[in-house]
Amino acid sequence: MTTPYSGQVTPLGLPEMSSPMYMARVGCVACHYQKESGGARKYTGTTFFPSKEACVKCHGSEFKGIWEETGKALKGAQRKFTDKLEKARSAVSSAGLKGEPEKKIRAKLAKVESRYEFLIASRGEHNIYLASEILRRGNTSLNEIGTDLGASLPDISDDPLISGMYCATMCHPKVGVKVPPETVRYKGKTMPHKAHTEFGGGCVKCHDIGAHKQTPLKKDAKAFCVNCHEGGP
């Protein structure tokens, strides 16, 4: 079954990316224990909503409000993405393409739409890493569509869930982990990591952003380095 929590999403053409809580064998009832009852519920059964206190119950008081903040960040990213998607649809419809060019670009748009529908229907909060991956890939595809059509689409690359900065703006500050760190070691040298993040473009400029703690340096990162460093780092 394709689910965001388990991260088993290969049928959508996405890499398998399980939620850390799924990997830790945390079941639904760990968070979903707030009952909705009354009215027709005595006939249809009880729905268990996620409790706002679930994060605190397991992770401590520093995680108070993290669920609401995650939902707010995701909804903000979705608003931007929805607007860009609508503009891309309009651009495709008015482009007057025919034959193979139209077929190719509509297939790319359909893939973006399918993954985005999955993200919304499955509640991306269940796996924010996968949600970020879907939004980031979708944004890249929409940019390509805009370029192919010569259409101007909104630039939403600075949204934390697309730039990869969501780790630094959501969870880590609550537990006192500094992201990005001031310095990192690279090829035996101490590099001013924080200074590089201030150039803009977010983490995805240099890193592939995957599941929790999976942020390897891109294989072609040197191409970005040579913009400032002669011969690369």
Query: pTM for the full model?
Result: 0.82
Query: Do 33 and 75 belong together in one domain?
Result: yes
- Alpha-carbon distance of 79 to 146, in angstroms, equals 19
**pLDDT score for 211:** 67
Measured distance CA(202)–CA(162) in Å, rounded: 8
Judgement on whether residues 120 and 14 belong to the same structural domain of the protein: yes
- Give percent above pLDDT 90 in the chain: 34
So what's the pLDDT on residue 156? 96
Distances (CA, A) of 121 to 84, 115, 126, 128, 160: 19, 10, 11, 14, 21
Number of domain units in the chain: 2
Task: List all residues 6 or more positions away from 161 whose beta carbon is below 8 Å from its beta carbon.
Answer: 73, 74, 77, 128, 131, 132, 135, 136
| Rounded (10°) CA dihedral 57, 73, 210, 19 | 30
The answer to whether position 4 is within a domain reads no
Tell me, what CATH number does 85's domain have? 1.20.140
Same domain, residue pair 190 and 159: no
In a domain, 78, yes or no: yes
How far is Cα 85 from Cα 99, in angstroms, rounded to an integer? 22
> Is residue 144 over pLDDT 90?
yes
Q: Average pLDDT of 28-39?
A: 77
Judged by DSSP in three states, 70 sits in helix
Q: Within a domain: residue 158?
A: yes
Q: Which residue pairs, CB below 8 angstroms and at least 24 apart, start in 11-16?
A: 12/114, 12/115, 12/118, 13/111, 13/115, 14/115, 14/130, 14/133, 14/134, 14/137, 15/133, 15/210
**Top-confidence range, 36-45, 129-138, 183-192:** 129-138
* Continuous segment of H or E residues that includes residue 143: helix 128-149
In a domain, 88, yes or no: yes
Tell which of 163, 196, 213 closes a domain: 163
How far apart CA 187 and CA 228 sit, in angstroms, is 17
Pair (18, 108) in one structural domain:
yes
Mean pLDDT of 136-149: 96
pLDDT higher than threshold 60 for residue 232: no
More confident of the two residues 55 and 46: 55
| Per-residue pLDDT reduced to its tens digit, 62-109 | 888 888 888 899 999 999 999 999 999 999 999 999 999 999 999 999
Mean pLDDT to the nearest integer, 216-233: 71
Same domain, 43 and 82: yes
The residue among 163, 190, 214 that closes a domain is 163
Sequence-distant (6+) residues with CB within 8 A of 62 are 174, 175, 176
- 135/184 same-domain check: no
Structure tokens at 103: 């077929």
**The dihedral sign for the CA sequence 67, 5, 133, 156:** negative
Q: Could you report the per-residue pLDDT of 163-214, keeping only the tens digit for each?
A: 887 776 677 766 667 666 777 777 777 877 777 766 665 777 777 776 676 7
Mean of pLDDT values over 3-22 = 86
Q: What is the pLDDT of residue 196?
A: 72
Do residues 154 and 67 both lie within one domain? yes
Q: What share of the chain in percent tops pLDDT 70?
A: 85
Asked whether residue 30 carries a pLDDT value surpassing 70, the answer given is yes
- Under DSSP, the state recorded for 207 is B
pLDDT of residue 67: 84
- Residue 188: inside a domain: yes
Domain that residue 205 falls in:
180-225
Helix (H, G, I), strand (E, B) or coil at 185: strand
Out of 163, 191, 208, pick the residue that ends a domain: 163
